[in-house]
Amino acid sequence: MIAISAEVSAKARLKAFARVSTARVDDAAEAIGRIFCPHDLKPVDHSEQDFCALHNCAGFDGFSINYVAYGGSVSINPGCLDRFFLLQMPLSGSASIRTAARELATGPERAASLLSPTIPTEMTWRGDCAQLILLLDRKLVEHRAAALGGTAVRPVEFDPAVELTGSLGRTLAARIEHLVTVAEQLGPQKRLPAIAAADWREALLNALLNGQRHSLSGAIDVFNGRAESQPAALKRARAYLETRATEPLDLAELAGVAGTGIRALQIGFRRHFGSTISDMLLDIRLAQLNARLKTARPGERIVDIAFDLGFTHLSRMASAYRAKFGESPRATLRPLS
């Protein structure tokens, strides 16, 4: 059997979890296809004599971590993955990936790829490419995405490019490395405790579904208050509060300005601003009070400024001010020299 290059062999991971090791293209396609999914596999760039394949796989509940390496350069055409998502983290060599919507190139410490089961994919791995591959069950991802977005279960399609120089990429790379290390320490004879496997699933699902853009990202942002489902109405209402902060709050008037009902406006503020209308008005008034105190002329009194801004209960105002700014109104008005 033709050995994998010395560089790739030295970096091989999960060696105790060997599933495939062959120099025959047909055998590699069949054996790796049984683990992942059926696919076309062909050497390219005159790599027939250099071809070899290695696949090590540690399986857990709902996900697995895999080490896959090819000698030479190969084209891989799985079509649609159907049953799972694949996060591919390059360790050596490079890969070019073509999906229905875009093309991308990946390489160590530069970029990884995230393949979705409903998007047809073709790949070319070059230069003795080796990758750590996280496999996540499709149902697991889709059900969690639906729960996060408050929607019915539906296909989830990720942006396939994961920049390893960004925050998410660095987080994923560290977690994949840690998972591999844990698997290697356990070995194939020991199982990851159920509670630990659940923690891993949660961490991986949270990182991917909240960190990488996908077809349900908008729904998740709205459902969790990170985006506005009524941007125009809420922006009009907030701008009106800022310009009329010194006046008594009239909910009917505010709803009329926003162009929506009072109840819808109240729900919108809680969901998208994480605040009641009254609390937001208080926050605006406190911010204006802070600005006025910092620019107050000699002789101006806190009580007069506070009344100008609509505060009628001075002790409550002072308590709220300290909670927001970490000091009393008097300390802001006359800072220690």
Which tens digits make up the pLDDT trace of 221-236? 877 766 555 568 888 9
For residue 137, CA distances in Å to 8, 64, 205, 296, 311 come to 28, 9, 11, 62, 56
For residue 68, CA distances in Å to 119, 173, 190, 318 come to 21, 16, 22, 63
Under the banding of pLDDT at 50, 70 and 90, the label for residue 37 is very high
Return all residues near 213 (Cβ < 8 A) that are at least 6 apart: 158, 159
- Residues 284/291, Cβ–Cβ less than 8 Å: no
Of 247 and 126, more confident: 126
Averaged over 262-273, what is the pLDDT? 84
Residue 149: predicted pLDDT? 82
- Residues 74/86, Cβ–Cβ less than 8 Å: no
> 3-state DSSP call for residue 72?
coil
Highest mean pLDDT pick, 1-10, 154-163, 266-275, 328-337: 154-163
Residue 269 reports pLDDT greater than 90: no
CA distance 2 to 9: 12
Residue 337: predicted pLDDT? 45
> 3-state DSSP call for residue 152?
coil
Residue 10: predicted pLDDT? 65
Under the banding of pLDDT at 50, 70 and 90, the label for residue 2 is very low
Residue 227: predicted pLDDT? 57
Length of the chain: 337
Highest mean pLDDT pick, 154-163, 254-263, 321-330: 154-163
Under the banding of pLDDT at 50, 70 and 90, the label for residue 176 is very high
Which tens digits make up the pLDDT trace of 47-90? 788 899 999 999 999 999 999 999 999 999 999 999 999 999 99
Tokens of 251: 């909910």
Looking up tokens 């990851």 gives 192
Residue 1: predicted pLDDT? 40
Q: 71 φ, ψ to 5°?
A: -80, 145
The amino acid sitting at 303 is: V
pTM for the full predicted model: 0.68
Under the banding of pLDDT at 50, 70 and 90, the label for residue 251 is very high
Q: Flag the least confident range among 118-122, 194-198, 230-234, 243-247.
A: 230-234
CA distance 224 to 274: 10
Which tens digits make up the pLDDT trace of 288-324? 888 888 888 888 899 999 888 888 888 888 898 888 8
Mean pLDDT over the full length of the chain: 89
Of 86 and 244, more confident: 86
CA distance 271 to 223: 8
For the chain, the structural domain boundaries read 6-222, 228-274, 283-337
- Residues 56/17, Cβ–Cβ less than 8 Å: yes
Q: 89 φ, ψ to 5°?
A: -110, 110
- Residues 212/159, Cβ–Cβ less than 8 Å: yes
The H or E element spanning position 247 is none
Averaged over 232-259, what is the pLDDT? 89
Q: Which CATH superfamily is domain 6-222 in?
A: Jelly Rolls (2.60.120.10)
In this structure, whether the domain defined by 283-337 belongs to CATH 1.10.10.60 is answered with yes
Residue 245: predicted pLDDT? 86
